Amino acid sequence: MNSSSNKVISLLKDFFYALISNGLTFVISAVMALLLPKFLSVEDFGFYQLYIFYMTYASIFAFGWPDGIYLRIGGKSIDNIDNRTYGTQFYLFTIFEVFVYIILVVFAGLLESDLNKLIVLKLCCISGFIFCVRLFLNYILQGTGNIKKYSFVIIIEKLIFIVLSILLILFKFCTYYYILFADIIAKIISLVIAITYCKKFALVIPKSWKSIKKEIFENIFSGSQLTIATFASILIVGVAKFAVQNRWSITVFSKVSFAFSISNMLMQFVGAVSIALFPALRRIEKKQLSNIYSTFRSILMIAVLGMLNFYWIGAIILCRWLPEYIDSLRYAIILIPICVYESKMSMVVNTYYKTLRLEQWLMKINFLSMCLSLIMTVISAYYFNSIILAVVSIFLALAIRCIIGEIVLSRKIDIYVIKHIILELVVCCSFILGNWFFGVKGEIIYFAMYVMYILLTKDEAKKCISFIASKVMR
């Protein structure tokens, strides 16, 4: 067996391991997404979702430092990195984050007058600090291909959170701030585990500032473009969610956020596989990347588009379990197809941009999409006063971002994707329009469109199946 085959088989093993381990994370997240709105009031669930919303910005306050390390060590073995260099950076980064989040707590107290929102903001600052410190360690585990250890850290956090949350529900301590404390405790324990995994450099005698400052600035410079790209990416959805939170009540925000959580469950399951892809792709020659891209892209799209066939089964169950959130299912019809574009962007497109070191292009595409989202959100929320149009603007902005990103990437690695892009857009629109106007009958329309998609891409599907079979059986 040649080295090329070994690399592909190794990549497939990481792919399936990440799929299984993140499948467990998906199940835990799904349970929490269904349990919390059942036992929290709509208002309390809204404050919990506000906490989740604010926490999406936590990584921004790392200012690209861990991201730069992630990009620069991607593909290396953890045994081949300088322990004292990264250990010193870990200490300095932790001290830096202490000052950053103290400043954020002070500003939160000065700017927010609503007591509940202030509590949420201050708890976010505590949680954000823990998250950023753990992010530093997790990025080293990811970049060096320690996917099992990284996954275990995340799974432990989710397991502890769900156990504590269930205990709070059983003992009738079911308010949003107790749930947020449970999340913080879970993050602290997972941070301790991450430190034990990285003790080779997390527990060393630090170097002097002079000997390390050049390395630090290089990492921050390298990661800053990726951080700006990530920030712009978050704001694509963030500006719309902020408008909903600002323009409508916390109850409406709660219902829209619940629709997002349904879509996010699917994206978490599929998109997390990119964790395994990045370090593996960094070890593969550039000429092989186009073949691997086509393979994983086809597998992903067939799987994700297939998941949408089960929408109404889930919707009927949710209607009976959470009757207060029936309105959320209307928003979900528009938001669930986002997982088609976001999973592809996260798992395939973003991973390739990082592998090929195209962070500048990623930043430009995300910034353009953010501006588009901002314009559409302002018009829909503040001019038309329509929450439905605000939700539609999110889908359009994310779809356009993924389409532009994939077209740019296709030119870089010399592949043809226009046919697939058009087909996927037609299938997604058939899901939204069919279910919106025809209800359950729209599922028949979507299933017919999905079958048409499979037939029109059957050659690629056959190649995927034969490719995987040949590598697994070999």
- The average pLDDT across 446-450 equals 89
The pLDDT confidence band at residue 336, using thresholds 50, 70 and 90, is confident
| Residue 75: predicted pLDDT | 61
Task: Say what the pTM is.
Answer: 0.74
Q: How far apart are CA 43 and CA 49, in angstroms?
A: 10
pLDDT at 131: 92
Residue 99 binned pLDDT confidence (cut-offs 50, 70, 90): very high
Burial (CB < 10 A; 0-12, 13-18, 19+), residue 472, is: exposed
Contacts of residue 203, defined as CB under 8 A and 6 or more positions apart, other chains included, come to 87, 195
Residue of higher predicted confidence among 469 and 337: 337
Tell me the average pLDDT of the chain: 79
> Cβ atoms within 10 A of the Cβ of 437, count?
10
Tens-place pLDDT, residues 123-153: 999 999 999 999 888 888 877 777 778 778 8
Per-residue pLDDT tens digits for 303-318: 788 888 888 888 888 8
Query: Are 443 and 435 contacting, i.e. CB atoms less than 8 angstroms apart?
Result: yes
State which amino acid sits at residue 127: S
Contacts (Cβ under 8 Å, ≥6 apart) of 122: 105, 108, 109
86-91: average pLDDT: 82
Chain centre distance of CA 22: 12
What is the average per-residue pLDDT within 255-279?
64
Percent of the chain with pLDDT over 90: 9
Q: Give the Cα separation of 395 and 421 in Å (integer).
A: 15
Q: What CA–CA distance (Å, rounded) separates 342 from 322?
A: 26
